[in-house]
Structure 1
Amino acid sequence: MAKPSAHPLEQALADFSPGLPFAVAFSGGADSTALLLACAQRWPGQVRAVHIHHGLQDAADAFEAHCRDLCQQLNVPLAVRRVQAGHAPGQSPEDAARKARYAALAEAVHSEWPDVPDIALAQHADDQVETLLIALSRGAGLPGLASMPAQWRRQGLNWHRPCLAVPGAALREWLKEQAQPQSWVEDPSNTDERYTRNRIRARVLPALAEALPAFRETFARSAAHAAQAQEVLNEVAAMDLAQVGVPPCIQALQQLSRARQALVLRHWLRQHHATTPSTAQLHELLDQVAACTTRGHQLHLKVGQGFVERKGQHLAWTGQENVRPMGTI
């Protein structure tokens, strides 16, 4: 008699090898509940949970109370952090909340459990497809098409997304199989179609499932190809930046093709100044670099969250907060 195949979530965790003990980001929703419960079963006594209270809706207090109750039932230590994420001009509230959430997750782990090296997030296959479609709708390049990485290191932690190959519906099915049909809370904002991601989830994914039944797997494969290609380009950009110098020498930049100039300038701005130029800003910067054929040619362009200027034979970047208003000393 053939052995029944493992559930996709159980298979995903079989391929997941975190350092022990480790933490799980726990919102109280179905996805993170399935991940937390499955991890607690697989690694009893080795799992910690972090809940971020955003305060963005009236139900936030109830979410926190639910998370505390469930973690107590599972005997999983829980840390709660409250954030109020304001967004900068030109930044979406969702992006501001995401950055605040990741910072709070890292702070909670470091403060509560200094011996914890890893944290797991519950994004799944549907989330990955949504991310890819949003990137396509914005005309993103390879970094956007690569979508969400399965693992990366930042803020002194190893971050993991072990469920990226698991459909969201499969996580809810697994919870029901565990006799946990009411173990999660439903975030009402997840059905608000004013948000692009929710419109994709409600309207596009069902149509894709009907027209292209294997779309989750094939889209994920395309995202993985994009990520691999971007990794190669990052290596080329790092080598080119070592040649043109930091800050970049204009004459050395001019020896590269325009495409490689774009690559190395993006890399310089991202790695050394944590900013990203828009496509229009980068094209204008490349035009200005090409025009720097005399000592007197000046360059002062808005790029990302600051300005790129010509300083002698080199380019320099200044953050917007450090730019002096005209007429000041």
Structure 2
Amino acid sequence: MTQSFDAAVAAFRPRLPLAVALSGGADSTALLLACAARWPGQVVAFHVHHGLQAAADGFEQHCVALCERLGIPLWVRRVDARHAAGQSPEDAARQVRYKAFEALALDCQAQAAIKTIALAQHADDQVETLLLALSRGAGVAGLAAMPAQWQRAGMDWCRPLLRVAGADVRAWLVARDERWVEDPTNADERFTRNRIRRQLLPALQQAFPQFRDTFARSCEHAAQASELLQELAAADAAAIGQPPRIAALRALGRARQANVLRHWLRVHHATTPTAAQLNELLDQLAACATRGHRIHLKVGGGYVVREAEVLGWYNQQVLVPISARDGGAPEQLLQ
């Protein structure tokens, strides 16, 4: 169920010391204020300067002034968050930001060994993330949206406000006459997330007033389904071996083949296939009933190939040995 801001903070039980990711916006400003009041002397702030817009210097100045007023240590890291060709700007900034938080935690260890990093995403952010995932045809892992808690780099990462409506966070600040900075890009509807926030959320509020609660339940169901699929994939991966044996793969149904192949590529080769690439790989596996059928497909960030009776993966064009019993030449350039 949706929580009030105060109830969410009261329910938050982080391991201390705690670092709050502070952008200078309303959400992170409110979270820092509440955490600093609840755990005096146990809270620091992390600010990442993305360098993507002129207003970024103003964000940092707000964070410096706020932390000076509260007597809270502020750690700042400047990064280059420009996205690569074909990469979404939001994804690029998020990946750089998380790495920066990890680096900041290492930087301040001499002062305090940070146990928890708190992020200020709220219920509206969760709804936006779910709608974005739906618009992209995501599977259950994507539909699980943002987790409330996880571990990374030896620390707990928490989102204590995921059940709090964005308007409630701002109302909490206004009631205390606290100020924050507004990111000017939040009004730019060229970004899909901003169109969702400005156009869809008001319509959902009118049509389904409880949408934050019901959408959150759907995210929880998807997260449970994703966890079960991961457990099944791990069990199937142990059964088919590493590298995967083709005969063992073919003994599974197509859905389980897809699940374990995604697991294999993600865990062992740090790559993710597109839906089209995975479907083509499954079709090629089905065709392995024909003696001598070869597989050499572009999948994720590399190539999946058939090597005798197993699947191999290469991250670049290579000379792939072909089994003599498959009727091929001794080697073949993978294109």
Q: Which band: TM-score by shorter chain?
A: over 0.9
**What count of residue pairs does the alignment treat as equivalent?**
319
| Correspondence for 1:134 | 132
CA distance in 2, matches of 1:327, 1:304: 19
| Correspondence for 1:49 | 45
| Correspondence for 2:326 | none
| Correspondence for 2:251 | 255
CA distance in 1, matches of 2:43, 2:291: 61
CA distance in 1, matches of 2:34, 2:254: 50
Question: Mean alpha-carbon deviation: is it higher for 7-16 or for 203-212?
Answer: 7-16
| Correspondence for 1:77 | 73
CA distance in 1, matches of 2:151, 2:312: 28
Whether 1:160 aligns to 2:155 is: no
* Cα shift readout 1:185-213 (whole Å, capped 9, x = no counterpart): 00000110000000000000000000100
Question: Mean alpha-carbon deviation: is it higher for 272-281 or for 81-90?
Answer: 81-90
Give the gaps of 5 or more residues in structure 1: 1-6
CA distance in 1, matches of 2:209, 2:87: 35
* Cα shift readout 1:276-311 (whole Å, capped 9, x = no counterpart): 111111100111111123563221111112221122
Q: Could you say what secondary structure the match of 1:292 adopts? A: helix
The percentage of aligned residue pairs carrying the same residue is 63
Whether 1:323 aligns to 2:321 is: no
| Correspondence for 1:121 | 119
Structure 1 residue 323, shift from structure 2 partner: 3.2
| Correspondence for 1:170 | 168
Question: Mean alpha-carbon deviation: is it higher for 23-32 or for 84-93?
Answer: 84-93
Alignment of 1:4-19 (within 5 A): 8-19=4-15
CA distance in 1, matches of 2:85, 2:92: 11
* Residue number among 286, 291, 302 corresponding to 2:287 in the alignment: 291
Structure 1 residue 120, shift from structure 2 partner: 0.5
| Correspondence for 1:22 | 18
CA distance in 2, matches of 1:237, 1:327: 31
Q: Could you say what secondary structure the match of 2:48 adopts? A: strand
CA distance in 2, matches of 1:316, 1:64: 48
Q: Could you say what secondary structure the match of 2:271 adopts? A: coil
Structure 1 residue 142, shift from structure 2 partner: 0.4
Shift in CA distance, 87/324, structure 1 to aligned 2, threshold 3 Å: farther
CA distance in 2, matches of 1:242, 1:43: 45
| Correspondence for 2:191 | 195
Alignment of 1:229-248 (within 5 A): 229-248=225-244
* Cα shift readout 1:99-135 (whole Å, capped 9, x = no counterpart): 0111111111122126112101000000000011111
CA distance in 2, matches of 1:26, 1:127: 16
| Correspondence for 1:4 | none
The answer to whether the Cα contact below 8 Å between 2:102 and 2:153 also exists between their aligned partners in 1 is yes
Structure 1 residue 157, shift from structure 2 partner: 2.0
Q: TM-score, normalised by structure 1?
A: 0.93
The answer to whether the Cα contact below 8 Å between 2:317 and 2:333 also exists between their aligned partners in 1 is no
The answer to whether the Cα contact below 8 Å between 1:295 and 1:312 also exists between their aligned partners in 2 is no
The answer to whether the Cα contact below 8 Å between 1:237 and 1:263 also exists between their aligned partners in 2 is yes
Question: Mean alpha-carbon deviation: is it higher for 253-262 or for 152-161?
Answer: 152-161
CA distance in 2, matches of 1:146, 1:185: 30
CA distance in 1, matches of 2:85, 2:273: 16
CA distance in 1, matches of 2:59, 2:197: 22
Structure 1 residue 66, shift from structure 2 partner: 1.1
CA distance in 2, matches of 1:327, 1:248: 22
Shift in CA distance, 260/254, structure 1 to aligned 2, threshold 3 Å: same
Which structure 1 residue ranges, 4+ long, deviate > 6 Å from structure 2? 325-328
Whether 1:63 aligns to 2:79 is: no
Whether 1:206 aligns to 2:206 is: no
Structure 1 residue 156, shift from structure 2 partner: 2.5
Structure 1 residue 327, shift from structure 2 partner: 8.2
* Residue identity opposite 2:162 in structure 1: L
* Residue identity opposite 2:225 in structure 1: A
| Correspondence for 1:179 | 177
| Correspondence for 2:85 | 89
Q: Could you say what secondary structure the match of 1:310 adopts? A: strand
The answer to whether the Cα contact below 8 Å between 1:26 and 1:33 also exists between their aligned partners in 2 is yes
CA distance in 1, matches of 2:156, 2:257: 32
CA distance in 1, matches of 2:69, 2:291: 71
Q: TM-score, normalised by structure 2?
A: 0.91
* Residue identity opposite 1:79 in structure 2: W
